[in-house]
Amino acid sequence: MKPNPGGILQLNDIVGRDSVVAYLQATLEQQSILLVAERRTGKTHVLEKFKATAPANWVVIKRDIGAIRSAPEFVQYVMADLYPHLEAKTNFRNWLQSLGEQLGGAQIGPVKLPNFATKQWKQILGDAIAHLDENTAMDRVVFLWDELPWMLEIIAKTNPQEAMELLDTLRALRQQHANKLRMVFTGSLGLHHIVRGLKEQGYNNTPVNDMLSIEVEPLADSDAAHLVERLFVDNHMTAATQDLFEETAKALDCIPFYIHHVVSALLKNPVLIQQPVDKQAVSAAIAHGIHSSDNPWDLQHYEERTLAYYGKQRGECLALLDAVASSTGTLPITDAVRRAKAAHPLIEQQQWIELSRLLERDHYFLRHANGEIGFKFTVVKRWWVWHRSLAMVPAGASQ
Amino acid sequence: MSTVKPASAVNSVSVRAEKAIYLSHFTPSMTAPETLEAMLVQREPLLQRSLGNVLESLRTGSSHHTLFVGPRGIGKTHLLSLLHHRLSQAADVQGSSLLAWMREEEWGVTSFFELVLRILRTLDASYPELEIAGRTHPVYELPLKEAEKLAESILLEVLGTKRLVVLLENLDDLFEQLGDQGQKAWRAFIQNHNNMVLVCTTPSLFAGVSLHKSAFYGFFDIEPLTELDFEDVVSLLSKIAVERGDHELAAFITTSEGRARIRAVHHLAEGNPRIYIIFAQFLSAQALDELVPAFMHTLDELTPYYQARMKELSGQQRKIVEYLVNYRGAAPVKQIAKSCFITQQTCSSQLKQLKEKRYVRSIEQGRESYYELCEPLMRLCMEVKKQRGEPIGLFVDFLRIWYTQPELHTMLRDPEVLRRMDLRYLERALVLTKDTSTDPKVQAIYRDLTQASANAHTQAVFDLIKELASVGADESAAWMRFGLPLIQSLHKRRTPVPPEAVSAWADAVTNLINTHMANPDHKALLALAAEERKLIGRLASAWQQMNSGVTP
């Protein structure tokens, strides 16, 4: 395998995702899933692996729907994706013909759809899904909809009502066909941000409260080290010490995207092709990713997005992030708040705790079993300390 | 002086053995692939790696997308042209994929739908047997939304089980025109069908690929193209000379004098291959008359691009860029701020933004940051436009670097040369060559000597001082300046000091002392810095006193 930061890997090269894939499958036996993670953690590869290893009597349909502009267009794609699985069924064919002129609709891939431009999209979607029950050979029909929040964002820009109705319709369909229909929503943008926007426009429902939220975590330590080792071996690089693989993986938070990036950078260095790679070379490659003005990992994003995510609370948010980042280790939340309070003394304790919870949800913090908090990703922490010129303070010390 | 190639060329205007090769300095895609292969320097490992990534994508079903990043003229099109050539030759590519090489001029694409149509048109030109044009006729009869889906369906049908390798220039421009919606549609197509492998270029990184919130964030393997270093340039010019059948020039390039001249041109061109390609074709006198129009043509083509880029800037940022254009080098923040009548704080913040937009780059020296323009061609474009009919400084510099004083005199007397060339260029160059204290060849060698001695590169110091001798400059002055720093940096690195370095330095100091004793106003002493001259003077008088038995 060649290092391939950001590209699509072949199935054999997707390392260490067996357990999350098994967990997805076990969950989908019962309910639908909201798959969440930071960008470039590997959600799409998890979905690909799940699709390839799903039971034979499951139909798994994966589609990136991020550029779809309306609910009717979304329904067209659902129809095109369902068609191959239902075309042999007489009732389905008759129903399609009853919709309108066979030749009048759009062509999506090899499927020529009927012209149902004037029909109600909700009705058509409901009827189409209902035909799934005709096919008894299918135990589960799972739609993996990647970039669903982007689609909703586009629709909501011109027609927020339609975006709300689409979310409600999908929820209703999950309830109606609970024995067979499953959905997995995922995307680069958190769905909660879209729903929050819709709520500001009068939306009152909770459209995904029936779905289990599963986070795609970084790889396990051993899998990440194995990935580093495999990339080294496959590309004829040697490690100066045996623990280099583990240390590299750990320094990169076991995130495959960063691992591919760093090995790719090492491979581009002509000196390292001829001699064993040591910790110094790895550290230099990681430091370039974090500190370079090229900003290849766009870590600036973690600061910039606080403006959109936390609005008026941004000042407090940055103070809390600074307090936790500048601690040499994890620290009790009361200590973190005490340090942050120096800049914002009038904020109530409860507000700090709520803010800490939100920062945990948005992947900044990780709360450990002992209740202490720390940065979830060391790469982000290193960048944060460097970017904001923070002086490090021992975890137990007062600031 | 030497019997070098340029002088002999002046005397044998009609005797040429050069191959009539076409080196398009602006559009390498129009140059024969064999010529491009022959002229490739420095980038072979990069080309091999990129080719390997595409081939692996075709073989395994993974998708490895590559983005070459570098300023105008750095050689992106050259690289893409060669990649296309090598892919077209690869046997396993032909059965498993289609290649769509999108030419850099053809962007009028404002949606993913139009991009798909453009790809289909490109494929139709390369693979007429697929009869793509006939299949796309119905697209133009449909409403837009249906036409979009049909166009995508046709592309999928044309590809079948094959994969599409898209080679594409100026991705930044295309992304800007596609907008957020077009980018998301393209990404969705790639993710849904996994049948497209992208190899693209851009003059600089841009929000569409580098920002976390962008559809294509982290999508590409970024390959920055670095400037050519001096040895790369020697190799490039030598290869061009060989390719043109000009073996005499190729041999000259490898001499100390040839290297000294190239070193000075190297500082003029700042590592930008496009400038060397232009110069390379005019290293003989009879082609000089074509140099100015060829260069002006290149700059004319680029000017609208740079003008458009300038329009994107705020007033303060334009002022800073204009200052750096005129300054022709790296300047510290304090100096830039003072010259632009802005505070240092404002200047730093504007420079930071200009750096993010890739207009300038910073060089850290101690605690100070120096800023210079990223793209030498930008400076040249703006500089040339300001000349308004006057001889262009760059060409005058080129003439005075490449030709010796006697050669320029010979050219001035040659009616054939004068018939083809603006006399003012030769005259201006001649005037400048008489001012030896600012000989650009010597300046360039001195700059490199500073680096080489500080980095303890002993052999490089010897070679550079040999180059100095070949252009008539004084070796002793150079050893006086750089001998001690070399020895000190060797010491600092705990590297044994070669005895020949110590003796060369000691000999040089002794020579200078002797010269001073013979004639304190000797030309060789004038090449020294004031402090060095004083030191030699003191040593000389100490020596004289010791010899006369007087204690100083």
Q: Does the beta-carbon distance from B188 to A147 stay under 8 Å? A: yes
From chain A, pick out residues whose CB is under 8 angstroms from the CB of B219.
Answer: 6-7
Confidence of residue A100 (pLDDT cuts 50, 70, 90): low
Q: What angle separates helix A314-325 from helix A300-310, to the nearest 10 degrees? A: 140
Does position A283 have pLDDT exceeding 80, yes or no? yes
Q: Is B59 on the interface with A (CB under 8 A)?
A: no
pLDDT tens-digit profile, chain B (552 residues): 333 343 333 333 333 334 444 455 545 666 788 888 888 888 999 999 999 999 999 999 899 999 999 888 788 988 999 999 999 998 878 888 999 998 755 567 889 999 999 999 999 999 999 999 999 998 888 888 889 989 999 999 999 999 999 999 989 889 988 999 999 999 999 999 999 999 999 988 888 998 888 999 989 999 989 888 888 888 888 888 888 787 888 888 888 888 888 888 787 777 677 777 777 766 655 555 566 666 777 777 777 778 877 888 888 999 999 898 888 778 899 999 999 999 999 999 999 888 877 788 887 666 678 898 887 778 777 777 666 667 777 778 778 887 888 888 888 888 877 776 678 888 888 888 776 556 778 888 998 999 999 999 999 999 999 998 888 888 898 999 999 999 999 999 998 999 999 999 999 999 999 999 988 888 778 878 888 889 999 998 988 888 877 554
Name the one residue in this structure whose structure tokens are 């995702």: A17
How far A179 CA sits from the closest chain B CA (Å)? 27
Q: Does the beta-carbon distance from A6 to B219 stay under 8 Å? A: yes
Q: Is B170 on the interface with A (CB under 8 A)?
A: no
Q: Does the beta-carbon distance from A150 to B212 stay under 8 Å? A: no
Beta strands in B207-334 (DSSP E): 221-224, 331-332
Which residue in A7, A69, A293 is closest to B64 by CB distance? A7
Q: Are A239 and A282 in contact (CB under 8 A)?
A: no
Percent with pLDDT over 70 in chain A: 96
- Residue range A207-240, pLDDT digits in tens: 999 999 999 999 999 999 999 999 999 999 999 8
Chain length of chain B: 552
Pick from A201, A186, A191: nearest CA to A45? A186
Which residue in B53, B184, B218 is closest to A6 by CB distance? B218
B472: which 2 tokens? 């008539």
B177: which 2 tokens? 């025109």
Q: Does the beta-carbon distance from B221 to A109 stay under 8 Å? A: no
Q: Does the beta-carbon distance from B63 to A109 stay under 8 Å? A: no
Does position A88 have pLDDT exceeding 80, yes or no? no
| Residues in A 2-61 with any Cβ partner in B closer than 8 A | 2-10, 13, 39-40, 44
Q: pTM for the full model?
A: 0.81
d(CA B488, CA B87) in angstroms, rounded, equals 51
Q: Give residue B2's pLDDT.
A: 35
Q: Does the beta-carbon distance from B45 to A73 stay under 8 Å? A: no
Pick from A4, A296, A12: nearest CA to B65? A4
Q: Does the beta-carbon distance from A2 to B217 stay under 8 Å? A: no
Q: Is B369 on the interface with A (CB under 8 A)?
A: no
- Residue range A151-179, pLDDT digits in tens: 999 999 999 999 999 999 999 999 999 99
How far B185 CA sits from the closest chain A CA (Å)? 5
Burial pattern A123-149, b for ≥16 Cβ within 10 A else e, equals ebbbbbbbbbeebeebebbbbbbbbbb
Burial pattern B190-213, b for ≥16 Cβ within 10 A else e, equals bbbbbbbbbbbbbbbbbebbbbbe
d(CA A131, CA A139) in angstroms, rounded, equals 14
Burial class (CB in 10 A: 0-12, 13-18, 19+), B181: middle
- The 10 Å Cβ neighbour count of residue A287 is 12
| Residues in A 353-392 with any Cβ partner in B closer than 8 A | none
Q: Are B107 and B170 in contact (CB under 8 A)?
A: yes
B503: which 2 tokens? 């003796």
Q: Are A135 and A85 in contact (CB under 8 A)?
A: yes
Does position A118 have pLDDT exceeding 70, yes or no? no
Which residue in A4, A67, A305 is closest to B188 by CB distance? A67
Pick from A305, A306, A352, A298: nearest CA to B205? A298
Burial class (CB in 10 A: 0-12, 13-18, 19+), B137: exposed
- Half-sphere exposure at residue B63, Cβ-oriented, CA atoms within 13 angstroms: 23
- Half-sphere exposure at residue B432, Cβ-oriented, CA atoms within 13 angstroms: 22
Pick from B184, B108, B191: nearest CA to A157? B184
Pick from B91, B81, B93: nearest CA to B55? B93
From chain B, pick out residues whose CB is under 8 angstroms from the CB of A65.
Answer: 188
Q: Does the beta-carbon distance from A107 to B146 stay under 8 Å? A: yes
Q: Which of A30-44, A184-198, A295-309, B255-269 has the lowest mean pLDDT?
A: B255-269
Which residue in B46, B62, B149 is closest to A10 by CB distance? B62
A141: which 2 tokens? 């029909």
d(CA B112, CA B39) in angstroms, rounded, equals 36
d(CA A94, CA A102) in angstroms, rounded, equals 11
Which residue in A62, A64, A108 is closest to B153 by CB distance? A108
Determine phi and psi for B77, rounding to 5 degrees: -65, -40
Q: Does the beta-carbon distance from A67 to B217 stay under 8 Å? A: no
- B213, B223, B364: best to mutate for the A interface, most A CBs within 10 A: B213
Residue type, B409: H
From chain B, pick out residues whose CB is under 8 angstroms from the CB of A296.
Answer: 210, 222
Q: Does the beta-carbon distance from B63 to A301 stay under 8 Å? A: no
Q: Are A244 and A278 in contact (CB under 8 A)?
A: yes
Q: Is B224 on the interface with A (CB under 8 A)?
A: yes
Confidence of residue A22 (pLDDT cuts 50, 70, 90): very high
Q: Are B449 and B478 in contact (CB under 8 A)?
A: yes
Residue of B nearest to A257 (CA): B218
Which SS3 state, helix, strand or coil, does residue A366 take?
A: strand
Confidence of residue A68 (pLDDT cuts 50, 70, 90): very high
CA A362 to chain centre: 11
Q: Does the beta-carbon distance from B184 to A66 stay under 8 Å? A: yes
From chain A, pick out residues whose CB is under 8 angstroms from the CB of B156.
Answer: 109-110
Which residue in A40, A270, A305 is closest to B218 by CB distance? A40
Q: Does the beta-carbon distance from B224 to A294 stay under 8 Å? A: yes
Q: Is A329 on the interface with B (CB under 8 A)?
A: no
Enumerate the H helices of B61-193 as residue ranges: 76-89, 91-96, 112-126, 132-136, 144-159, 171-193
> A319 or B521, which is more confident?
A319
Q: Are A36 and A118 in contact (CB under 8 A)?
A: no
ipTM, interface predicted TM-score of the complex: 0.87
Q: Give residue B19's pLDDT.
A: 42
Q: Give residue B282's pLDDT.
A: 62
